[in-house]
Amino acid sequence: MSWMPPAVADLSAEVEENLRIAPVIERVGSDVWRMTIENERVKNVIDFKRTSGSRWIWKKSILLVDGEPYPPRDTHEEFYDLFLNTDEALERAAAEEPAEHGHGHGHGHGH
């Protein structure tokens, strides 16, 4: 693929540097570019859209872990950690969440 929006190219380069994999990048219609970053457990689909000018901005992300929707991470570093160390990241996230999240681990947080 020759040209891609700078926002897409920059994120792609960052992903390759941090995860050592190349994301799949495709143009989806005239005003949307899609980046897919995935391994056997984690899949993140990111759409970029064109603004009224020629700028491209993040539009939405869909994050799946083991095929189930997962809340987006707050930072790129958190996503890379989830991608590279999935079990450990999931355990940390579960330990930080309130007990009523439905995992049934019984960590009484005194709610």
Residue 40, pLDDT above cutoff 80: yes
pLDDT of residue 100: 53
Residue 98, pLDDT above cutoff 80: no
In a domain, 52, yes or no: yes
Count up the domains in the chain and report the number.
1
* Structural domain that includes position 71: 6-98
DSSP-derived secondary structure for the chain: -----HHHHHHHHHHHHHHSSPPEEEE-SSSEEEEEEE-SSEEEEEEEEE-SSS-EEEEEEEEEETTEE-PPPSSHHHHHHHHHSHHHHHHHHHHHS-GGGS---------
In a domain, 30, yes or no: yes
In a domain, 78, yes or no: yes
In a domain, 63, yes or no: yes
Q: How confident is the model at residue 66 (pLDDT cuts 50, 70, 90)?
A: very high
CATH number, domain containing residue 24: 3.10.450
pLDDT of residue 53: 82
For 71-93, what is the mean pLDDT? 94
